[in-house]
Structure 1
């Protein structure tokens, strides 16, 4: 269970813009949900193997402390254990805390919180993506470089199609851009914007392997990044920004 929680924190808290989680579990699934404080990105994680005894709906806070616990070297021993403690809340029995113990039995406790205390989650309904592609490490590095150059004045980048090519633009009056290779020519009707700091941080979680999906419509756009790990499938959904 320690490794699963480490994966959860590596793909939420480690981004730098997530402070709390909502987890819903039963015998068939474990779903992790969260949204950043600025409502720029919605994260949904689906564990490939549901966590035993992690049944119910609850919140997780103090993520920095939990990350330190799951990374503590003495808890990596094959003889270390972990346990979910359940307690009655109203009419429901839900996870109340997780207890890790090293091989000597020394406990590390982390208390969960009520799911009601977690920010409301956004329900994103699936769409037919306009284009899907996997940016290369080189493309991500180029994109990172130009966004760093404009970071003092800009927070958003614009996705445009020029002559069938997909381009990420940064800067006023056209600024500069990175051309992104796609499986075929693309055709966009709009020029939507997204926050480049958050997008780049997510892309670097699995640099060169993350799948990017973009939905283009005149009054609505969405960008989704899919990261596949040993333990979970992670979806990072960015609604198009409104300036």
Structure 2
């Protein structure tokens, strides 16, 4: 809560989204949309998703390929007094090793414990797929938050891995009379070799909510968790 120092030509922002907006503004980009608020069609979809979640399905599972976005989400949820477990070391956050199920879990799956002898999760989605299936069987989990990193060196077609996993997880949950919300933070540009439009379209067709910033993703996850989508609008003001 400390006030940022006033240093000429040095800017302090609280989120990556705000930092990107600042850079775009300094570059004079008139087309850059600075608002993290979702347009009406997406809000309508989220309302349907929210209504489909059971009253007890309020726990978030953030399955991140690296620590940066997981850390940002942890800061965001902690400031909202969410009870969080993580493999990232942070004040007032439980250790994931305690295996407390009744917490929101934010996992850096690029951590050494997950990458011994296997490729990084930006390249290999197997461990995240397995975790998705595990969480789909938990009756108190309702929201699964993922990042997809595009670019050279990342998986050539992430949707080909995630779409079948999402479909199977939905089947597992529906067999127990439950629904699941999937939120995908898509990090990439139209210049990336994976074709961001194709990735977005295929994940959206599978029922995932695809957003371009982690602030949007974790905001949606938190709003679904508490059952109040108006919070998304409030956080953007």
Name the TM tier (shorter chain): under 0.3
Quick check: which has more Rg, 1 or 2? 1
Relative contact order, higher structure (CA 8 A, sep 6+):
2
Whose strand fraction is larger, Structure 1's or Structure 2's? 1
More helix by share: 2
